[in-house]
Amino acid sequence: MPRNNAALAVTLPPQFVPIDEVGIDERVSRFSKRSIKKSSKVQALKLALSMLDLTTLSAHDTPERVRQLCHKAKNLLETMPELPHVGAVCVYGPLVKVAKEVLKGTKIHIAAVSTAFPSGMAPLKTKLIETRQFVADGADEIDMVISRGKFFEGDYDYVADEIAAVKEACGKAHLKVILETGELNTLDNVRRASDIAMHAGADFIKTSTGKVQPAATPQVTLVMLEAIRDFYYATGKKIGMKPAGGIATAKQALHYLVMLRETLGEAWLTPDLFRFGASKLANDILMQLVKEQTGAYQSIDYFSME
Amino acid sequence: MDPKSLDFKTSWEYAPAPEGKEHIKINARYEHFIGGEFVAPAKGRYFETINPATEEKLSEVAEGSSEDVDKAVVAARAALDKSWSKLRASERGKYIYRLARMMQERAREFAVIESLDGGKTIRESRDVDVPLAIAHFFYYAGWADKIRYAFPGKTPRPIGVAGQIIPWNFPLLMAAWKIAPALAAGNTVVLKPAETTPLTALKLAELIQAADLPPGVVNIVTGAGATGAALVNHPGLDKIAFTGSTEVGKLIQRAIAGSRKRYTLELGGKAANIIFEDAAIDQAVEGIVNGIFFNQGHVCCAGSRLFVQESVYDTVIRKLKDRLETLIVGDPLDKNTDIGAINSKMQLDKISAYLKIGVAEGAELYQSSCKLPKKGFFCKPTLFLHCSQSQRIVQEEIFGPVLSVQTFRTPEEAISRANNTPYGLSGGVWTDKGSKIFKVSNALRCGVVWANTYNKFDPSAPFGGYKESGMGREGGLHGLQPYIQYN
Amino acid sequence: MSKAERKAEVVDLKDRAAARQERLPVLKTYKLFIDGKFPRSESERYYALTSANGESIANVQLGSRKDFRNAVVAARKAFPGWAGRTAYNRGQILYRMAEMLEGRRAQFIEELETLGASRSEAETETAMAVDRLIYYAGWADKFQQVFSSVNPVASSHFNFSMLEPTGVAALLAPEDSGLLGLISVVAPAVAGGNSVVVLASHSKPLAAITFSEVLHTSDLPAGVINILTGTRKELLKHFASHMDVNALVYCGSDAEEIRTVQLEAAENLKRVVIEENSDWQSEERQSPYTILATQEVKTTWHPIGL
């Protein structure tokens, strides 16, 4: 369908952008060869903590478990009170109220996974209902999943329209769109899904639910960051990025930050535009920070699990 | 400032991460390596080799005279006749394998010395030069007892004694490219490293000695152009193998005209790197960067002429400029350095002269905003935009981190401009369309085509030029041919 | 040529005709073969060819450096098209050349005899010339398979090396083998996709010129093979120094000539092939390695990814 309105140009369905997998691998390996030491390391680890979406997404999560996680979010480490707080706590929607209660008075956001997470196999109508409900319950951020089946059918309009509808249902809450890159399989698909999500109104694009392997990888994250860069240059809009799942060590987190720094620069080095979705990462970062302070390698026994 | 610009001057920077050099041993003085022994130069003269990043002296090295060269050729001939040709081919192969293994043990030491002596980044000497040099020995070691399978219908024999002259841009790697196939094919050699970067070759000599290679199979004579000339003109050689400038390559071809010496030449280049509008642009930008800034642009196959299809020109250049801002220029020994020191004062002067020429010719100069160290020889990564085919910066090899950029409209235009040069070493093609890759890479008159990649090397992959970029191939099965004869 | 000389020549020809038979034979004008045409030398010079017993045989064009220049222009123009032909097609055209030569065996035998060969020598040389063409016709679509390679590089790349013709080859054909020698250097270069300019034997040029008539009727594109007659002394330096010639094949063993060729060739780094062995009938003189002498190796890399 021809569109003549020039103002619509940026909302046109994105064109196919080819991605070379080997080229991506090579670029990623360059990031991981950056050597981050001493003060530079401490600074980055603190930044990473502030970008953390502390996550629990088990089908058997209970209010008690969520409370524990929220307390951990509030008090990362008694001995280091100067540490920044994490970006958000990420939970299933029905537990938003519990988190809200514990995190009252803090600046820690509450993120709720929504839209029949993790499969997304539900009618749009029910997806919108749950989204509105979670926002009403106090969620600051909604993490939705795209309809991968429709994506593979080639029904990109459906995928885009659905995102736009959920975005509308979010109201003031920020929308993170999970592409589930582990199912998209190719980097070409990751790029296409990223473009669709951004054009449809995503505030963040996110790699994974954490329920599918592989979850976040440096490769898909780079492709998504490059899509964000192109979108920024085309529209002036800054879209956030959240790699989620599979990032368990401080060293990995540093490599992601190197990638972020060298792809998007200063403006994105903030929790407003970058998050790590992780459950085990916090403690590894804390252990590294204590090691930098004391000079001694640390044991997990000295760090609370939640 | 454009509201839509990215800022790579970030509040979070990388702290210095220098590679340790405490465990590295560099002698105060190095002699020639002749007949398995370190031998003082006949004339007693030495020259200094410095660290181009600090301008500090690293060591002093024997200056080879014609007497020294003669001694080395005699030693190589004796080794050929008395030991090397008497060995079973499989035993020759085992010597080369042993050498490869011993190099692996001391890989980091080689890498650090390579960076100290030549100015290249430790990341490249550690991840590229040294492992590739080792891989070369490993690859050709296995050929030693299999050469008869490489030349169907023929019975190959070694040529004899080879004189080999190598450049300063990949000192150890070039030594490996020369020595490994020569030895595997049963020849003995006299190698002359470049005068600014002799140290890793001399370290290799120590290993050759320690590996118990028969004395004289590999001889190393250090020195500058005069030493090279003495080697080229020595009547006792059967073959000359040279890597260096086209200018010197021609001098060599003339010098040995009428003699019976065989020769292979690996010379200069001015490669076209062609970006089509349907390419994976972000990866292409990486390829452009790797093509011209790898090893400070001191690469004969560097992608020094960029051709961008007009429809994606703005996008590519914007991304390229962004990428330039993230390149770290400075201390070669820092693990985070992307661009190290220019190899010598002389080379830096040459590059600086070209920067002036480019501006005078009317091209638009663009450099990254990085700060350069106060001491040492450094050059900012540089783009020349809106270049014309007739400009010297487009036609001549600069051998530095300087990229000349042109646009094109059609594939035919890109191909004809790419080929419009006396050189023919390498080229790059970037497109997502398979059939276009084959059409364009077939049309490029050059010896290596990187399609959707750039500056890749492997011991099994033949490398070498068309036209004035040289003759003969190094690497792979085809790299054996310059070291054998039949009939 | 002065009027008097021309008159003398006519008389001479008449005498010869009378001596042979009653009918006045029609004599052939031997010309150059450039760009598919048969021009006279631009210099309008010739040299008289005489038989062993001093009998005048024919006037042969004394090709000049400008004729050579024109031939190189033609060869350069023809090169991309010829190199771009399928190997199968090149093989067929070489075979066609052999067919045409076979059909005119009698003429070649006669011309070889005229220049001093015995009947049986002439028959042998002509037969071998036909067979040599067929030999290289067969190689046209095979040598690539023997000498190219797929290289097992240690990275995610598909890497292969294949042969491509060097370009324009200038050939100094052997002096003592007017037909077989000429074909032995022309056929491998052309089978491999080069275009050539060849200087025929000075003392035995007839078969070379008649061979150009064979070429003319063999579907060979104009300019692929250009045949000059003249003196090596005059043309050698130009053959070796021409900047648009990529390879030079020298047949002979004159040390000074070889030195000159190598010196001049350095000007543009021509590939120089020296053929000293003059036994063109030997088995070794036909070999795919002869094709290799005017081939370049091109190595192509491409990533392997999704």
CB-based contact C149 B463, cutoff 8 Å: no
Do the Cβ atoms of B242 and B231 come closer than 8 Å? no
Chain A residue set in contact with B, beta carbons under 8 Å = 17-20, 22-24, 26-27, 33-41, 43-44, 47, 226, 229, 232-233, 236, 257, 261-262, 264-267, 269
Q: Does domain B272-451 have CATH number 3.40.50.2300?
A: no
Determine the pLDDT at residue B69: 98
| Per-residue confidence band for C28, with pLDDT thresholds at 50, 70 and 90 | confident
In this model, does residue B380 exceed pLDDT 60? yes
- Hey, how many other C-beta atoms are within 10 angstroms of the C-beta on B366? 17
- Please determine, for residue C160, whether its predicted confidence score (pLDDT) is greater than 50: yes
Confidence tier at C27 by pLDDT (50, 70, 90): confident
Q: CA of B433, closest CA in chain A: separation in Å? A: 10
Mean pLDDT of chain B: 97
Q: Residues of C with CB below 8 A from A21's CB?
A: 303, 305-306
A7 falls in which pLDDT band (50, 70, 90)? Answer: very low
CA distance C245 to A80: 76
| pLDDT given at position C10 | 57
Structure tokens at B194: 């470049």
Q: Six-digit token pair at A56?
A: 């629990």
| pLDDT value of residue C128 | 97
Bridge partner list, C303: C157
Distance CA B150, CA B143 (A): 9
Our CA dihedral for B76, B80, B81, B85, rounded to 10 degrees, sits at: 170
The pLDDT assigned to B486 comes to 87
Q: Give Cβ neighbours of residue B403 (< 8 Å, ≥ 6 apart).
A: B288, B292, B303, B304, B305, B306, B382, B383, B384
Count of CB atoms within 10 A of residue A15's CB?
Answer: 7
Locate the domains of chain B by residue range: 29-267+467-485, 272-451
Q: Which of B124, B266, B468, B474 is catalytic?
A: B266
CB pairs under 8 A between A and B: 83
Model confidence, pTM: 0.94
**Confidence band of C17 (pLDDT split at 50, 70, 90):** low
Spatial contact of A219 and A24, defined as CB atoms under 8 Å apart: yes
Residues of C in contact with A23 (CB under 8 A): 303
Q: Give pLDDT tens digits for A60-119.
A: 999 999 999 999 999 888 888 889 999 999 999 999 999 999 999 999 999 999 999 999
Strands B305-309 and B402-408: parallel
Residues of B whose CB is below 8 A from C246: 467
Distance of CA B136 to the CA centre of its chain: 14
Measured between CA atoms, how close is C201 to chain A, in angstroms? 56
Contact A23 C157 (CB under 8 A): no
Q: What percent of chain B has pLDDT over 70?
A: 99
Please give the Cα distance from B114 to C122 (Å, whole number): 65
Q: Output the pLDDT for position A5.
A: 44
Enter the DSSP assignment of B56.
E
A233 to chain B nearest CA, in Å?
A: 6
Find chain A residues with C-beta within 8 A of B4's C-beta: 232-233, 236
How far is residue B285's CA from residue B295's CA, in Å, rounded to a whole number? 17
Whether residue C15 has pLDDT greater than 70: no
DSSP C170-224: EEE--SS-TTHHHHHHHHHHHHTT-EEEEEPPSSS-HHHHHHHHHHHTTTPPTTS
Crossing angle for the helix pair B107-118 and B130-143, to the nearest 10 degrees: 120
Whole-number Å distance between alpha carbons of C73 and B120: 45
Active site residue A143: yes
Identify which has the larger pLDDT, B325 or C6: B325
pLDDT at A2: 40
Could you tell me if B165 and B264 are in contact, meaning their C-beta atoms sit under 8 angstroms apart?
A: no
Question: Which token pair is B475?
Answer: 């690497």
CB–CB contact C154 B466 (8 Å): no
Is B85 within 8 Å of chain A by CB? Answer: no
**How far is residue A180's CA from residue A113's CA, in Å, rounded to a whole number?**
13
* pLDDT (tens digit per residue) in C169-224: 999 999 999 999 999 999 999 999 999 999 999 999 999 999 999 999 999 999 99
- Give the span between the Cα atoms of B404 and B421, in whole angstroms: 14
Instruction: Note the pLDDT tens digit of each residue in A103-150.
Output: 999 999 999 999 999 999 999 999 999 999 999 999 999 999 999 999
Q: List the subunits that have 3+ CB pairs under 8 angstroms with A.
A: B, C
Residue that the structure tokens 């992780």 belong to: A278
Q: What is the DSSP string of A204-234?
A: EEE---SSSSS---HHHHHHHHHHHHHHHHH
Ranges of H-type helices in chain A: 21-32, 38-50, 63-74, 96-103, 124-137, 148-153, 156-170, 181-184, 187-200, 218-235, 250-264, 281-294
Give which of A190, A101, A104, A193 is closest to A147, Cα–Cα.
A193
Structure token digits, residue B89: 């081919």
B235 touching A, CB under 8 A?
no
Q: Dump pLDDT digits (tens) for B25-61.
A: 999 999 999 999 999 999 999 999 999 999 999 999 9
Say yes or no to pLDDT of C284 above 70: yes
Out of C151, C258, C284, name the one closest to residue B487 (CB): C284
Asked if the C-beta of B351 comes within 8 angstroms of chain C's C-beta atoms, the answer is: no
CATH number of B29-267+467-485: 3.40.605.10
Q: What is the CATH number of domain A18-293?
A: 3.20.20.70
DSSP state of A255: H
Domain boundaries, chain A: 18-293
Q: Please tell me which residue in A53, A143, A195, A284 is annotated as part of the active site.
A: A143
Q: Are B384 and B404 in contact (CB under 8 A)?
A: yes
From chain B, pick out residues whose CB is under 8 angstroms from the CB of C256.
Answer: 258
Ordered by where they begin, the domains of chain C are: 65-303 (3.40.605.10)
Q: Over the stretch A174-213, which tens digit does the pLDDT of each residue have?
A: 999 999 999 999 999 999 999 999 999 999 999 999 999 9
Residue type, B181: P
Task: Provide DSSP, C125-147.
Answer: HHHHHHHHHHHHHHHTTTHHHHH
Q: Which tokens belong to B308?
A: 């961008």
Q: What is the pLDDT of residue B310?
A: 98
- The pLDDT > 70 percentage for chain A reads 95
* pLDDT tens sequence across C107-117: 999 999 999 89
The answer to whether residues B47 and B61 touch, using CB atoms and an 8 Å cutoff, is yes
Has A206 been annotated as catalytic? yes
Confidence category of residue C304, pLDDT binned at 50, 70, 90 = very high
